[in-house]
Amino acid sequence: MPTVRVATFNVENLFSRAKVLNFKNNLEGDQLLFKINELKKELSKLTYDKPKILKLYNELKNYISISETREKLFDRYKTKVVANGVNDWDGFISFKREKFDEGARKNTAKVIRTVNPDICCMIEVESRPVLKYFSSERLAKTNAFANYPYLMLIDGNDDRGIDVGIASRFPIRRIYSHIDDKDGKSSIFSRDCLELEIESPVGTIWMLLNHFKSKGYGDQDTSNKKRTKQAEEVAKILKRYDLKNDKVVVAGDLNDTPDSSPLAPLLNVTNLSEVLEKKFPNAEDRWTYHYKKNEQIDYLLVSKPLLSSLSDAGVERRGIFDVQKFTDGNIQSFNTVKHYIDSASDHGMVWADFKF
């Protein structure tokens, strides 16, 4: 009987990422992101508070660049704001980037090779060229059986380059992006809900790849409402399917726990089940991420035909730095993960086997 293994993994941006995201302590990065958002708001005003703009820029200049495409925001030495308001100049903020340690790339590949999925949802991938390079240089050369000829990523709504992509051994036949789905004038998805039709040996599998709004910086009520809207929209998309008969997977980092109110509209969809919940009766065994405590925020939600074929599932956590501290020594990090900088990710990889 054929077996198909599906997985989801937040790889924390392959190869390079915004410097502001590359902190061991998420709070430090969150505070900087809050200030960047504050600077964006100031730069959109008709009349500038020049001392405030200069102060914010000086606090953030190690992490951002301001490109001026028409007229100038600053004087030549960036010691003074010369524009009086948004109509006096034209430009944009970009994030300064830094390379990940070579060890991080190798350990990310090690997790994927260890789990060896046939279809892998990958969260926080910088671009399709990066995904293609990673697949050919880090996976295929090390393990010929871990080659992924079918790769897809569409640039999403996050201007930091945090996108969702897929690596598959099976052909991708159709693709639908939801980056332009709107709630009024606002985009619903922080990145995308990338919808793909996969031609597998056991028939068509539909994948819906997601990375919901973070709980991080900013107002918590606002981020809760955003995730709620995203959960509602994915549930709406699922209405196009017959979940009793179609093979459908909703995969990714949903940035909230199974008992949360924002995820309820999605997790309560009829004939949609979470694989780890079915495999591990004890909720404590399902954790995929550790910040202040062990929590599940990564998911593989599957329709009825896949649930009936579920033969095994798990979380590969050995790419996480110091995972032994979070598991009372029951799990040890890979011996190549010696520091948080060279960890594969701060997330575990969720995987599931379906036997037909």
Q: Which domains are delineated in the chain? A: 3-15+100-355 (3.60.10.10), 23-98 (no CATH)
pLDDT of 111 > 80? The answer is yes
Q: How far apart are CA 248 and CA 243, in angstroms?
A: 7
pLDDT band at 27 (very low <50, low <70, confident <90, very high): confident
Q: What is the pTM for the complete model shown?
A: 0.80
- Which range is least confidently modeled, 42-46, 208-212, 218-222? 218-222
Quick one: 221 exposed, middle or buried, by C-beta within 10 A (0-12, 13-18, 19+)?
exposed
Q: What end-to-end distance do the CA atoms of the chain give, in Å? A: 6
Sign of the torsion angle spanned by Cα atoms 320, 322, 324, 327:
negative
Residues 217-236 have a mean pLDDT of 91
- Do strands 97-99 and 16-18 pair parallel, antiparallel, or not at all (unpaired)? antiparallel
Closest CA to 50 of 31, 33, 72, 29: 72
Q: How far apart are CA 232 and CA 51, in angstroms?
A: 42
Check if the beta carbon of residue 215 is closer than 8 Å to that of residue 256. Answer: yes
pLDDT of 141 > 60? The answer is no
pLDDT band at 264 (very low <50, low <70, confident <90, very high): very high
Query: Residue 98's pLDDT is what?
Result: 67
Q: Within the chain, how many helices (H) and strands (E) appear?
A: 9, 20
Check if the beta carbon of residue 327 is closer than 8 Å to that of residue 315. Answer: no
Q: What six digits make up the tokens of 157? A: 């709504």
pLDDT tens by residue, 151-198: 999 999 987 778 999 999 999 999 999 999 999 999 999 999 999 999
pLDDT tens by residue, 233-258: 999 999 999 999 999 999 999 999 99
